[in-house]
């Protein structure tokens, strides 16, 4: 039997934990995301208190019906329950100290001006902990110095690889989280074919199927009016071109993931020769961050996420 002021919080947090575990609420805890969850928790708390009160009053009524003798016995068992006997004994054992009354048995016989010494044993909790460290040390030595399981470099590399896989997986599920700062060049065939489909429904009229240009500029050369590279192209598609030129902002129509796909698709035009190329407009765009100051190449885009920096 635990007292009510332990029982109620334990049950409450148990239910709270279960709720958080089973209610899928993304990054936020459920009780913040869904206000109704707060109401639910409040109800749970009230119900728990109500149950306690009801049980208490039933106990009270039953107690009144007992005979004097039985009442006394009942009170005795109540008192014992409060003591948490086992826990106390264990605590005492682990402390291993002698009661003050028994100290006479372990007192040493030297005496320095009235200062005397007790021959206490080491406390068992400390001794067991010490044995545990020895055991740990032996296992550790065998595992890492005899059998060379793995070293820190390998451990680090494994963790980085795991994190990278997690980032990849996350990108797959959360493609729409990209914006102009985080967009990277997509190279997977599925993304590029999705980009191609978007291009052919929305952009082809002005830029031509092969990117040669018409109303819109040529997308196959290294000249860019508004800047090349995945980030600039993404921004142009999202925010549109200069006023009055005819290139609208596509962010109303296309999702971020779709803009990243079509931007990546456009960049595959680089270096191809269209049937009717429009004359180059704008400046040759050079990726400042690319190694060797080479021409813009989709493969050497500087915007891939740099790890471990
Ligand atoms: C109504 C015609 C039209 C449509 C449709 C159109 N564009 Fe454009 N696009 C233009 C024009 C005009 C420009 C030049 C804008 C400027 O000079 O500011 C341009 C510029 C661009 C540029 C920048 C080129 C550079 O040299 O900097 C990109 C990238 C681009 N368009 C991609 C797209 C994509 C992707 C789509 C489809 C989602 C699309 N455009 C649809 C007319 C169009």
Domain at 267, CATH number = 1.10.760.10
CA nearest 284: which of 296, 297, 269?
Answer: 296
- Please tell me the least confidently modeled range out of 2-11, 186-195, 248-257: 2-11
d(CA 207, ligand 1 centre) in Å: 7
- Name the percent of the chain lying above pLDDT 70: 91
pLDDT attached to residue 297? 46
Mean pLDDT to the nearest integer, 16-20: 90
**Mean pLDDT value of segment 101-130:** 89
Q: How far is the CA of 204 from the centre of ligand 1 (A)?
A: 10
Residue 44, pLDDT above cutoff 90:
yes
Mutate to test the pocket of ligand 1, among 217, 263, 264, 283 (most ligand atoms within 8 A of CB): 217
Last residue of a domain, one of 17, 33, 66: 66
More confident residue, 84 or 162: 162
Residue 105 — pLDDT band, cuts 50, 70, 90? Answer: confident
Q: Is 95 inside any structural domain?
A: no
Q: State which of 17, 46, 66 marks the end of a domain.
A: 66
**Does 152 map to a domain?**
no
Is the minimum distance from the CB of 296 to ligand 1 under 6 angstroms?
A: no
168 has a pLDDT exceeding 50: yes
Q: Are 225 and 284 in contact (CB under 8 A)?
A: no
With bands split at pLDDT 50, 70 and 90, how would you rate the model's confidence at 306?
A: very low
Q: Whose CA is nearest to atom 43 of ligand 1?
A: 247
203 lines ligand 1 (CB under 6 A): yes
Q: Ligand 1, from 204, 205, 216: best to mutate by most atoms within 8 Å of Cβ?
A: 216
Strand boundaries in the chain, DSSP class E:
107-112, 115-118, 223-224, 283-284
| Residue 158: inside a domain | no
Q: What is the pTM of this model?
A: 0.51
- Give the range of the structural domain holding residue 188, as residue numbers without chain letter: 176-300
Atom 41 (ligand 1): residue with closest C-alpha?
Answer: 203
pLDDT confidence band for 293 (50 / 70 / 90): very low
Q: Which of 1-5, 7-11, 290-294 has the highest mean pLDDT?
A: 7-11
pLDDT of residue 83: 60
> Is there a domain that residue 142 lies in?
no
92 in any annotated domain? no
Tokens of 267: 């960049």
| Of residues 299 and 99, more confidently modeled | 99
Ligand 1 centre from 231 Cα, in Å? Answer: 15
CA 281 – ligand 1 centroid, Å: 12
Report which ligand 1 atom has the smallest distance to the Cα of 224: 26
Are 286 and 296 in contact by the 8 Å Cβ rule? The answer is yes
pLDDT at 298 over 50: no
Average pLDDT of the chain to the nearest whole number: 86
Question: Which tokens is 101 given?
Answer: 């009354």
Cβ 209 vs Cβ 266: under 8 Å: no
Give 299's pLDDT tier (boundaries 50, 70, 90). Answer: very low
**How far apart (Å, rounded) are the C-alpha atoms in residues 227 and 186?**
18
Domain limit, last residue, from 43, 66, 89: 66
Please tell me the distance from the alpha carbon of residue 242 to that of residue 248, in angstroms, as a whole number.
9
181: three-class secondary structure by DSSP = coil
* Within a domain: 85: no
Decide if 161 is inside a domain.
no
Q: Is residue 252 included in any domain, yes or no?
A: yes
Q: How many domains does the chain have?
A: 2
- Write the CB contacts of 44 (distance below 8 Å, at least 6 apart in sequence): 12, 15
Calpha distance 134→118 (Å, rounded): 28
């Amino acid at each position: 039997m635990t007292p009510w002021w332990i029982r109620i919080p334990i049950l409450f947090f148990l239910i709270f934990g279960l709720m958080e575990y089973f209610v899928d609420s993304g990054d936020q805890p459920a009780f913040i995301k869904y206000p109704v969850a707060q109401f639910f928790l409040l109800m749970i708390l009230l119900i728990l208190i109500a149950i306690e009160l009801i049980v208490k009053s039933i106990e009270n009524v039953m107690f009144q019906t007992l005979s004097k003798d039985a009442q006394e016995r009942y009170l005795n068992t109540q008192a014992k329950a409060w003591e948490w006997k086992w826990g106390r004994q264990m605590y005492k054992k682990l402390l291993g100290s002698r009661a003050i009354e028994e100290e006479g048995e372990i007192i040493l016989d030297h005496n320095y001006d009235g200062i005397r010494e007790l021959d206490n044993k080491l406390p068992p909790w400390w001794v067991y902990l010490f044995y545990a460290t020895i055991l740990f040390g032996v296992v550790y030595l065998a595992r890492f110095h005899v059998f060379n399981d793995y070293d820190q470099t390998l451990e680090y590399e494994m963790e980085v690889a795991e994190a990278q896989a997690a980032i990849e997986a996350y990108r797959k599920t959360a493609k729409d989280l990209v914006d102009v700062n985080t967009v990277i060049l997509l190279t997977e065939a599925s993304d590029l074919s999705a980009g191609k489909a978007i291009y052919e429904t929305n952009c082809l009229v002005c830029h031509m199927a092969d990117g040669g240009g018409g109303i819109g500029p040529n997308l196959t050369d290294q000249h860019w009016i508004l800047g090349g590279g995945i980030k600039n192209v993404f921004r142009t598609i999202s925010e549109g071109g200069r006023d009055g030129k005819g290139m609208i902002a596509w962010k109303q129509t296309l999702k971020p993931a779709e803009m990243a796909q079509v931007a990546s698709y456009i960049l595959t035009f680089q270096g191809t020769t269209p049937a009717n190329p429009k004359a180059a407009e704008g400046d040759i765009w050079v990726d400042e961050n690319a190694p060797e100051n080479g021409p813009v190449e989709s493969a050497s885009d500087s915007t891939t996420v740099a790890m471990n920096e």
